[in-house]
């Protein structure tokens, strides 16, 4: 039996305070340390990568001092520059397209009327989150081959737009729900027609959420590997696909450096999106 059971009614007074602490259900001994350990498990490997990337030694195993040389070497690699440019172009197009699509979708779902098949559409929008990437990848590949579309870059833009939609729609939908309808009703009451209402009330109030959604979409597009690998063709290699190719050839300081760059870009953008999300909530 546990000590709580024993101590409950007949505890001598001098033990009472110590035992009462054991009664606090919010405190479980060792759980804090355990959670810290899990966080170390999640972040230590990333930290090791970053440390390696700044190691001036070409021998990966020895620390020889801090240096940017591998980053400089990457900057001089034309293939990496091309791949980065592809990634950027695809991410920008996919972000703009998916954010616009997400905005209309969020408005329809949060402000629109109920229509037959609404639940099916909601499920469809969330599909890219549930279906394993490999299935999305080969389905997309099969589709473009079936309709005979061979432009790798355009195909990638379309594929990325599709799986970015659920990420872009989420913050916009949340914001519309939190906002409630009273502000829009007030606008309507004050003689704004539908377009003026959207232009002067809904859109400005949604802006932080739209920005957050766009950033999420951008990061997801930039990070995508499997779908890009399957759909891309010779001229449309994206950065993660190129980096994967480098990794297959072996562990090199260059791989560490380019991986660190990708890591930091994700961190910066996600940090910005989460900051916008918090401001969003404060405004509401």
Contacts to other proteins from residues 124-183, by CB under 8 A: 124-125, 127-128, 130-143, 145-146, 158-159, 161-163, 165, 169, 182-183
Stretch 2-41 residues interacting with other proteins (CB under 8 A): 2, 4-5, 8, 23, 25-28, 31-32, 34-35, 38-39, 41
Contact window for other proteins (CB under 8 A) among 10-18, 70-78, 79-87, 238-246: 238-246
Stretch 66-95 residues interacting with other proteins (CB under 8 A): none
User: Least distance to other proteins from the beta carbon of 1, Å?
Assistant: 7
Q: Rule CB under 8 A: say whether 217 interacts with other proteins.
A: no
The residue among 10, 26, 28, 7 whose CA lies nearest residue 18 is 7
First to last CA, the chain: 50
Contact window for other proteins (CB under 8 A) among 12-20, 65-73, 81-89, 225-233: 225-233
The residue among 162, 123, 173, 106 whose CA lies nearest residue 139 is 162
Structure-token pair, residue 226: 């499997």
Burial 122-146 (b: 16+ CB within 10 A, else e): eeebeebeeeeeeebbeebbeebee
Judge whether 238 and 151 are in contact, CB under 8 Å: no
User: Least distance to other proteins from the beta carbon of 102, Å?
Assistant: 7
Query: In this complex, which beta carbon is closest to other proteins, that of residue 102 or of residue 276?
Result: 102
Work out which of 57, 77, 252, 266 binds other proteins, going by CB under 8 A.
266
Tally Cβ neighbours within 10 Å of residue 254. 18
Q: In the chain, what's the furthest Cα-to-Cα distance?
A: 83
């Amino acid at each position: 039996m546990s000590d709580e059971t024993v101590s409950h009614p007949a505890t001598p007074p001098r033990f009472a305070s110590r035992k009462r602490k054991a009664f606090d259900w919010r405190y479980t001994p060792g759980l804090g340390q355990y959670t810290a350990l899990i966080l170390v498990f999640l972040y230590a490997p990333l930290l090791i990568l970053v440390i390696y990337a700044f190691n001036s030694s070409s021998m990966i195993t020895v620390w020889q001092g801090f240096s940017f040389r591998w980053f400089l070497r990457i900057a001089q690699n034309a293939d990496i520059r091309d791949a980065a440019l592809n990634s950027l172009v695809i991410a920008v197009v996919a972000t703009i397209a998916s954010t616009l699509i997400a905005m209309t979708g969020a408005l329809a779902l949060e402000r629109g009327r109920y229509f037959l098949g609404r639940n099916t559409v909601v499920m469809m929008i969330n599909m890219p989150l549930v279906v394993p990437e490999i299935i999305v990848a080969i389905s997309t590949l099969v589709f473009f081959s079936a309709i005979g579309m061979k432009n790798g870059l355009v195909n990638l833009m379309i594929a990325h737009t599709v799986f970015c939609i659920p990420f872009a729609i989420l913050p916009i939908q949340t914001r519309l729900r939190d906002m409630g309808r009273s502000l829009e009703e007030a606008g309507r009451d004050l003689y704004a027609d539908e377009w003026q209402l959207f232009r002067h009330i809904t859109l400005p109030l949604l802006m932080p959420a739209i920005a957050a959604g766009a950033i999420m979409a951008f990061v997801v597009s930039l990070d995508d590997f499997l779908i890009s690998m399957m759909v891309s063709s010779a001229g449309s290699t994206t950065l993660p696909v190129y980096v994967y190719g480098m990794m297959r050839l072996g562990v090199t300081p260059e791989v560490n450096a380019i991986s660190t760059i990708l890591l930091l870009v994700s961190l910066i953008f996600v940090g910005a999106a989460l900051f916008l999300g918090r401001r969003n909530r404060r405004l509401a």
